Amino acid sequence: MPALPGAVPLLFVESVAGRRGADLRACGAPQPRAAALVGEELCREEIAGFPELSEPQVLRHFLRLSQLNFAQALQFYPLGSCTMKYNPVVNDQMAALPGFAALHPLTPAHLAQGALELMARLEGALAEITGMDAVSLHPAAGAQGELTGLLVARAYHRKQGRMRSKVIVPDSAHGTNPASCSLAGFSMTVAKSNRRGFLEAREIARLLDDDVAALMVTNPNTLGVFEPEIVEIAALLHERGALLYLDGANMNALLGVAKPGDLGADIVQLNLHKTFSTPHGGGGPGAGPIAVKAPLDPFLPVPRLKRTEAGWMLDSKRPDSIGRLRSFYGNFAMLVRGYCYIRALGTDGLALASRLAILNANYLRKRLEDLYPSATAEPSMHECVLTHDLEKRAGVSTFEVAKRLLDFGFHPPTIYFPLIVHGALMVEPTETESKETLDAFVDAMRRIHAEALTTPELLKEAPHTLPFSRIDEVEAARHPILRWRPEGEPQR
C-alpha cells in the first residue's frame, strides 16, 4: 500500500526480515510456550507478513500515531453538546489502583465490598444531584441510557395495563433521541420549538393524547437555552399519565443550579463522560447512568445493588425489571472516575463548575456577537449557537470556517447542529478553559471572518498545516480499511 503523504507508515511497510526487539533467549530466561498459555489449537508456526521491528521503531510508530489526533489533552476542543472538559489525571490514578483495576467482574460480592460501596455512593450522589429517587449505573453511554429509560417507561405503562405507542421529541433534539425512540419500539411525534428557540406548553398540549408515553427533551436544549416552560409541560404530561424523560447530557449547565427531579422529570440519563469528566471513549467505554422517580424503580435494569446484613450484593431477582442491556453492571473504571470527580469538587465545587461553564459560553458569545451573532436572543447556558453571513457575502461555508480553525490549533465547534439553525456553529467551551484560551479562540474566529472576506481561497483548502487536509469522511465511515494486505492482494 503506498504511504499517504504525511501519514505514519504502516508497521508492515517498515518491517525488515529478522529484526527483533528484546530477545531474552540469550540470557537463558525461561521461555513460556505459547501453546501452554492459549492452547495448541490457537497457535500457528508462521504468520504471513507479520511485521518484524526493533523496539524503538514500535515506540515511535505508536507515539507518532497518538499525536495525529486532536485531543482535549492537547488542544481547546469546544465541540458543542459534547462537553469536552479536562479529564483530571487523579481520576485515572484512582481507577488504576490495583484493588479496582484488577478486580474481576465475576468476583463474589463478599470479596468486592469496596467496589460495591463505591457504586452505591455514586448512585447516592447522582440521585442527590438530579433530585431523583433511584439510580442505575448499568448503561454504557448516553444513547444506551436513553434506550434504557424508554424501555423502563414502556414497562411502567404496560404494568398499568397501558399500551402507549408515541413519544414526543422536539425538532431541536439530539439525533440519538429519535433513534432511541425507534429502537424502543415507539413512534415519534415532533414538537416545534418557537421562534425564540424553546418549547411552549401550548405546543405540548396540542400534541398530547392518551397514546403518548413520554416527552423526551434535553434541558438546556440544543440551542443552549433553558426550557422556561418545563414545569408547566411536566404538569400537562402527568395529568395525561405520560412521563417526562429528560436527556441529561447537558447537565453541565445545571449542577447545583437546578435539579431535573424538581423540574418534574421522571427519568433522566447522565453522561459521566461529559458532565463528570470521565474520558470520551472514542467508541470505547463510556457511562450513561439513569435516574428515575420511585414508581419507576422496579423496572430498572438488573443487576441492582442491594444492602443486606452481610453487606452489599448484586440482586438480579427483580420480576418487573427490563433485564440486562450489557454484560455485568456497567463500565466500572468510569464509575470510579466519576465518583472521584464528584468527591474532589464537592457540592460547592460542582455548582461553581456549572456557573463557570455558563460564564465561559456567554463570554465567547458576547465577544463574537458582532461577527457571529447568536441564533437566539435568550441567554445561553453552557453552550452558544452562533451564525454568520459569510456564505452570502463571500461564498464561504460553515464547514470551511471549521476547517480553517484547525490551522490555528483549535478543534472546531459542532457544526450544522441543531438542524433548526442554518449553518450553525455550536460552541461549548466548558469551565476548564482559561480566559487566555478563550481570547485566543476569539482572535482566531475574528481573523477567519476577515480572511473569508479578503482571501476566501485560503479557506477553501484549509487546513494547510496538518498531515491531512480534506478527508472523504463518508467514504472513511462507510468503507474503513481495517486490515492490511500485501501489495497486489485485493482489499476486502
Ligand X SMILES: *Cc1c(COP(=O)(O)O)cnc(C)c1O
Which residues of the shown chain bind ligand X in the complex (CB under 6 A)? 81-82, 141-143, 174, 176, 218, 247, 249-250, 271, 286, 288
Amino acid in position 126: L
CB closer to ligand X, 81 vs 360: 81
Q: How near is the Cβ of 285 to ligand X at its closest, in Å?
A: 11
| Cα–Cα distance measured from residue 230 to residue 210, given in angstroms and rounded to the nearest whole number | 20
Q: How near is the Cβ of 139 to ligand X at its closest, in Å?
A: 9
CB closer to ligand X, 269 vs 397: 269
CB closer to ligand X, 130 vs 397: 130
CB-based contact 339:385 (threshold 8 Å): no
CB closer to ligand X, 173 vs 242: 173
| Cα–Cα distance measured from residue 104 to residue 48, given in angstroms and rounded to the nearest whole number | 35
CB closer to ligand X, 116 vs 427: 427
CB-based contact 197:243 (threshold 8 Å): no
Q: Determine the Cα angle at 299 with ends 298 and 303, to 5°.
A: 85
Burial of 67 per CB tally in 10 Å (0-12, 13-18, 19+): exposed
Q: How near is the Cβ of 275 to ligand X at its closest, in Å?
A: 10
CB closer to ligand X, 224 vs 303: 224
DSSP 8-state assignment for residue 2: P
CB closer to ligand X, 331 vs 398: 331
Q: How near is the Cβ of 76 to ligand X at its closest, in Å?
A: 19
CB closer to ligand X, 217 vs 452: 217
Q: How near is the Cβ of 463 to ligand X at its closest, in Å?
A: 25
End-to-end CA distance of the chain: 14
Q: How near is the Cβ of 174 to ligand X at its closest, in Å?
A: 4
| Cα–Cα distance measured from residue 112 to residue 272, given in angstroms and rounded to the nearest whole number | 22
Residue count of the chain: 492
CB closer to ligand X, 235 vs 419: 419
Query: In 214-331, where does DSSP find H-type helix?
Result: 230-239, 260-263
Residue 12 Ramachandran class (φ > 0 left, ψ -120 to 50 alpha, else beta) = alpha
| Cα–Cα distance measured from residue 73 to residue 90, given in angstroms and rounded to the nearest whole number | 14
Burial of 252 per CB tally in 10 Å (0-12, 13-18, 19+): buried
Q: How near is the Cβ of 101 to ligand X at its closest, in Å?
A: 23
* Closest listed residue to residue 168, CA positions, set 205, 216, 203, 220: 216
Q: How near is the Cβ of 273 to ligand X at its closest, in Å?
A: 6
Q: How near is the Cβ of 380 to ligand X at its closest, in Å?
A: 15
Q: Which residue is nearest to ligand X (CB)?
A: 142
CB closer to ligand X, 226 vs 312: 226
CB closer to ligand X, 78 vs 286: 286
Which residues lie below 8 Å from residue 296, measured CB to CB, with a gap of 6+? 134, 152, 153, 156, 243, 266, 267
For 449-461, letters b (16+ CB in 10 Å) and e give bebbeeeeebbee
| Cα–Cα distance measured from residue 298 to residue 318, given in angstroms and rounded to the nearest whole number | 7
Q: How near is the Cβ of 5 to ligand X at its closest, in Å?
A: 33
| Cα–Cα distance measured from residue 471 to residue 480, given in angstroms and rounded to the nearest whole number | 12
CB-based contact 459:451 (threshold 8 Å): yes
Q: How near is the Cβ of 271 to ligand X at its closest, in Å?
A: 5
